[in-house]
Structure 1
Amino acid sequence: MPRWRALPDELDPQVREFAEQLRRVVDRTGLSVAAVADRTGYSKTSWERYLNGRLLAPKGAIVALAEVTGTPPIHLTTMWELAERAWSRSEMRHDRTVEAVRISQARAALGEFGPPPDVRESGAGESDVGRIAVTPGIAGPAGVSPTMPASRDARTTADGAPGGSGPRRTTLFLAGVVGVVTIVVGAFLLTDGGDPQQAVGTTGPSSPASAGPSTALPSGVLCGGADCTGRDAEEMGCSGDLVTTAKTATVGATLVEVRYSRTCGAAWGRITQAAQGDGVRVTVGSVRQTGAITVAGDTIAYTPMVAVKNAADATACAVLASGQQGCTP
């Protein structure tokens, strides 16, 4: 039996190449996935997802893998950066899809009420009523274009009165409902049930200026907004393909970053290329979270998360054991 499962067909070529490279690194050492998990500090389940192309490994996991396998970290991290950009492009496509669905749902909800009373009572012309009766972007009855006026039959009741109530209005309402159901089911299938591990080609690199999390969290994401404050990003499912780097700064040889998950509506601080005794903090308004490297040989530290509506509101700072300090913009 082959050691590895076939990678998903829909993977971006750069992500596929990165996953294959990770497999080669593990194969060269002869380590099992469980052994890799034990030595890197990342769970066996997480490594199975990383190595099977279901989730992009965080940079910390890649650095840890390089250390335990004797692989030059610069090469792996370079490939990781390319793969992360590919995941980010997929997130952007997903964001646009979700926004389109939400707009369509709103239009459908408004459309079910029919023309406003002032239009029905003002004696507006038939063409005006016809345009209101069919909501743009929502599928209407067969043969009626959503961007063209409805036919006279679609604008009148059986006795010729404009606006319409009764059977015709019921038909329009049902057509709107069918349109909404179709859109929602399509979005569900497109995102594979909302599982972020399958969303290759989807809530997108979110620009740091994006709003907070959507009300319906994807499968595997365990918190959103204020519920994420003080919690670990990886444990809550907010890392991997759901995170982007919003801000960076260099303090000595150490890189300090603001990490941001639009899906979770949260940010946290991270330092890499650091050493024992170095610390990191993230601040959003009056809320602050801190982290530090306490074990010799570790090079990465994270803070717990802080809820944000805009990544620009978060500032991360590195406080090094040498006394040097520095913050992101």
Structure 2
Amino acid sequence: MASSWKPLPAHLSSPARLLTERLREVKDTRQLSLADIAGRTHYSKASWQRWLNGERLVTAQALESLLTQVGGDADALRGLLAQAAVAASTGASDDDAPDGPGARPDASPAVADAVPLPTDPLAVGSPAGPAPVGPLPVGAAPVGPGRRSPLREPRFLLSLANLAALVALIVVGVALLAAPAAHSARPRTTPTPTATATAAAAAAGTPDCVGVGCTGRDPQLTGCGADAVTLLTGNVGKVILYIRYSPSCRAAWAKLTDAAPRDTATITTNAGQSAVALVHWGYDAYSPMVDADSGTVTLRVCGQQPQGKGCTLPVSDPAARHWPSPGTPDPRSASAAVR
């Protein structure tokens, strides 16, 4: 479904702006709603709304999830994300001013976590005061009174850093433009049979594991997420916890949304299995799977964040339930209060 998009923020760098526009095209050309994309990628509707409105730079994990579950030009989108991350790390944007404090917009928190911004260890001295004190660069001669060496001038050093970043961006852009022409001639690495089978299963929506064979594996990459349902939900403060279950794989996993970095959700079974979903950056995460095939299995998800800890109610033997069709939630599933 075509969307009426609002204008992107003016401070976005060219790669970030182009990346956001390409992501919008993926959504519109496939006639998907934000809820559709959230359901397929396991990242919340709120997160995709921020990414598609240019408020935050999409994470690499979320982009890979979109490419796997929805599709798109993988090489182009990955390249644009790499360029946007470099631009954010150097503070580049379409309307950057060359000098003046505060002229460079801050990077978004998601990018700042993934690519730390460089810092200038030299303080800018007063025009009337002495030059900054510190060891001279290798090969530099001492500077007499009233003179400043250009190699010790902070603005000169910053200019060299910006020039190096600009050259790096140009090289990456040229390589991306040349990639399609060399695509047919470039030798391709033959994937392993296991990786090929897993990718084919995920693309076809056919799972390649069942029960104990899914233990510790990614529900998205194995195809188990295609028919996933939510058994129960709970809350720890504003964080939402989910017990997710695949009827075809007979496996379960934890998920949390509206979270913050370092928040966790852990799924446990009465057989002693557990798996942890940890938010590294962004707002969402899901865990590897645990075996839920046994008729005696009991599942529970507990969340941990600075404000406290809470758990969902337990769920027993989800494999014994009647699941009408893939993707249809069980009418008996309900939201559980934190105990």
TM range (shorter): 0.3 to 0.5
Q: Could you state the TM-score of these two structures normalised by the residue count of structure 1?
A: 0.39
Higher helix share: 1
Q: Could you state the TM-score of these two structures normalised by the residue count of structure 2?
A: 0.38
